[in-house]
Chains A and B, each alone.
Chain A
Amino acid sequence: MDALASTRVAATEGLMELAASDPRVILVCMDTVGVLKADPFREAYPDRLMDVGIAEQHAVAFASGLASCGMKPWVAAFAGFITMRACEQVRTFVAYPHLDVKLIGANGGIAGGERDGATHQFTEDLGILRTMPGMTILVPADASQVREAVLVAGRTPGPTYIRIGSGRDPVVFSRGEPFEIGKIRVLERKGDDVAVFANGYVLRRALEAVRVLATIGIQATIVEVHTLKPLDVDGIAEVLRRTQAAVTVEDHNIIGGLGSAIAEVIAEQAPAALARIGVRDVFAESGPAGPLLDKYHIGVDDIVEAARQVVEKKRR
């Protein structure tokens, strides 16, 4: 059983820390105080938690107005309600004027939404946002990294989306690991047979798969791509040139997210054999996170098998 820690609590902890040192930090909720476990924020800064009601489009446009007058609003809700219901508000009133509005999307991925079912499992958010000029997109792997990402994003002006999970999220990193926007992180370089690129809490599964691969003679390099935009193209291309084989692992539709981003680098910069592990363009269903990921082919076995195949393809 994996150790768990809440990415939602971690996000609020990060926000509390930012708010303590900067009176411009505002948390905009849409009846989502409970989602973010943001009661401590409300108690500490009652004037700076603004709950606008169940009205995501209004919330994002409202935040745009706050930011245009020098405030630093953070909008927190379920990932899909920000990126789909309020998609145009994010695009036209946050990204286009390039305002310093931060967006936190909970229930990212099928494991992030787990028992809530497909209406609350979001596997489109990253693909949608990647097409918006000037957006920074962060997919931290666990609670401690969410906290770090919030702190770093808070000090970096510009529109930013941070994807978080269900609140029952596997621990991947020890606390305090620094988070640098726009840079890949090579976590382990056992060898150059294949590169495994992953982000979000499924990074834990990717790490496990790399260990299994070593036992069958495939030495992999595992790379965390926590910043999906701006993508560290040079860093990724450098790894690809060494391995010429890659597997991507993400809890998102394989269309539009990390798999697509790496495929673009492969196509334009560094040819390599590629297999994409992720949600295979279907809607998922309710269920506990672990078995759910297994059922939708984001299991350790799936990653191992994909890696085995791309290595074989490369050698042919």
Chain B
Amino acid sequence: MVEDIRALEDMARQIRMDVVSMIHESGDGHPGPALSIVDILVALYFATMRVDPRDPSWPDRDRFILSKGHGCVGLYATLARKGYFSIDLLPTLRALGSILQGHPDVNKTPGLDATSGSLGHGLSIGMGMAMAARLQGRDYSVFVLTGDGELQEGIVWEAAMCARTFDVGKLIAIIDFNRFQSGCAIESNNGLLPILPKWQAFGWHCQEVDGHDIGQILEAVRLAQRETRAPSMILAHTIKGKGVPFMEGDNSWHKRVPTAVELSEALAALKDRA
């Protein structure tokens, strides 16, 4: 485990460089939604989760589900940097025969714990994983990272409502609150906001953090892990496209490929922050 925040931030920067490079090289992918979750991924995989990249199916490992599967480029880079597979495979994103599918396929990519991509399913799947832990007497945690837009899916609220029934305290969800969905700003769309009071009403243990402050994320996750009965929800305020100035807050980068010039500009900006 890396406990040094500075080292974690360096890892996040490296993964952001991987993300923009992968999307440029493969000619397809979602940079904005991948960049907003990188600090959360680094906090989990490099300073929280009990996992062993040499044994991806270890039954006692902590689980992670990327419910917003379209952010997978960030996850693939994280898994490669963690050592699940070679970083040389990252440029094969979305290529024919690649282990790195357009959206996560649990049977193709080492380190994935769930297939995802169709929005809204992470919490339900995670709840099943947490129940399995209890029945088997294992003490692993289940982390679910959801988008904010995907909370509009009905199944999310089926899970929200059900979680207290089973007291799945080992289920820890984090919302990537970057305030944009594919086609518009979250605010402009419907009655989703405010988010946290809804989870509080369903009995979840709720916290709010800056999703780009790794120290804050780690602290919230530790508090969540101490909660044994109620499932946890952490609302992480993030910026879509975080780390690449011309992508930050510009929703055209939800799914868009940087040109060669844009890629070098992005990499330069990420290096500058070191």
Task: Give me the interface of A with B, judged by CB distance under 8 Å.
Answer: 23, 26, 47-48, 50, 52-53, 55, 57-58, 61-71, 73, 88-89, 92-93, 96-98
Contact = CB atoms under 8 A, between A and B. Distances in A.
A28 to B, nearest CB: 9
Nearest to A53: B162
Given A61-B128, A62-B124, A92-B115, A48 B135 contact: yes
Best-surrounded residue of B105, B115, B166 (most CB of chain A within 10 A): B115
Contacts, number: 101
Given A47-B135, A69-B129, A61 B115 contact: no
B248 to A, nearest CB: 32
Given A61-B121, A62-B159, 5 more contacts: A65-B125, A65-B130, A69-B132, A89-B155, A92-B117
A254 B105 CA distance: 35
A69 B137 CA distance: 12
B165 A58 contact: no
B59 A70 contact: yes
Interface of B: 59, 63, 105-107, 113-115, 117-118, 121, 124-133, 135-136, 154-155, 158-159, 161-162, 165-166
A61 B155 contact: yes
Nearest to B128: A65
A89 B121 contact: yes
21 contacts: A50-B131, A50-B166, A52-B162, A53-B165, A55-B161, A58-B162, A61-B124, A61-B128, A62-B125, A62-B159, A62-B162, A63-B128, A64-B114, A68-B129, A71-B132, A71-B135, A71-B136, A93-B125, A97-B105, A97-B107, A97-B115
Given A88-B118, A97-B106, A65 B162 contact: no
B161 A68 contact: no
B133 A68 contact: no
B162 A57 contact: no
Contact of B124 (A65, A67, A69): A65
Contacts of B107: 97-98
Contacts of A97: 105-107, 114-115
A88 B154 CA distance: 13
Contacts of B129: 65-66, 68-69
Nearest to A86: B155
Contacts of A61: 121, 124-125, 128, 155, 159
A205 to B, nearest CB: 39
A63 B124 CA distance: 8
Q: Is the interface of B mostly helix, strand, loop or mixed?
A: helix
B127 A53 contact: no
B132 to A, nearest CB: 3
Best-surrounded residue of B107, B125, B132, B155 (most CB of chain A within 10 A): B125
Contacts of B136: 69-71
Nearest to B114: A68
Contacts of B135: 23, 26, 47-48, 71
Contacts of B113: 68
B158 A57 contact: yes
A69 B128 contact: yes
Contacts of A89: 121, 155
A53 to B, nearest CB: 6
B210 to A, nearest CB: 29
Contacts of B127: 62, 65
A67 B107 CA distance: 14
B241 to A, nearest CB: 28
Contacts of B117: 92
A99 B53 CA distance: 22
Contacts of A68: 106, 113-114, 125, 128-129, 132
A62 B154 CA distance: 14
A55 B154 CA distance: 10
B124 A66 contact: no
Contacts of B118: 88, 92
A26 B135 CA distance: 10
Contacts of B125: 61-62, 64-65, 68, 93
